[in-house]
């Protein structure tokens, strides 16, 4: 199966970073998700109950990162991937977590991880 559900450019405001000043402010993180999901059933039924509800996944992603307040993007990505796989039954996902403005000469920095099996 090669079906996926995508969420791109989800902005989450949270505490993130290793420097003392970063622990006192919120900054934007940008999340991109590709999650393996069999879309045949919701494609036939047209019922959200049969789909991977991207509104619920988005809300859980925001809540996870806002609560976690990671120092490292790597930690935020790893914890979030585990939460999404456990809570939504996602077998495989590709997660990109970006921190815009972290390096002045770059639009953003980030990490990309893949977990599970397609």
Contact 8, 54 (CB under 8 A): no
Query: According to the CATH classification, is domain 4-116 in 3.30.1130.10?
Result: yes
- Residues 90-116 have pLDDT tens digits of 999 999 999 999 999 999 999 999 999
- Residues 31-46 have pLDDT tens digits of 999 999 999 999 999 9
pLDDT at 1 over 70: no
- Residues 57-86 have pLDDT tens digits of 999 999 999 999 999 999 999 999 999 999
Which residues are known catalytic residues? 99
Percent of the chain clearing pLDDT 70 (strictly above): 99
pLDDT at 22 over 80: yes
Distance in angstroms (rounded) separating the CA atoms of residues 94 and 113: 6
Which alpha helices (DSSP H) does the chain contain, by range?
A: 40-45, 54-68, 73-88
A 10 A CB-CB count for 84 gives: 22
pTM of the model: 0.95
Residue spans of the domains in the chain: they are 4-116
pLDDT at 118 over 90: no
């Amino acid at each position: 199966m090669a079906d996926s559900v995508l969420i791109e450019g989800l902005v989450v405001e949270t505490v993130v970073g290793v420097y003392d000043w970063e622990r006192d402010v919120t900054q934007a993180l940008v999340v991109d998700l590709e999650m393996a999901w069999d879309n045949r059933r919701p494609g036939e039924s047209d019922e959200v109950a049969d789909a991977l509800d991207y509104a619920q996944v988005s809300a859980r992603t925001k809540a996870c990162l806002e609560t976690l307040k990671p120092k490292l993007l790597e930690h935020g990505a790893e914890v979030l991937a585990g939460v999404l796989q456990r809570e939504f039954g996602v077998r495989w996902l590709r997660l990109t977590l970006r921190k815009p403005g972290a390096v002045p000469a770059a639009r953003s920095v980030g990490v990309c991880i893949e977990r599970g099996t397609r």
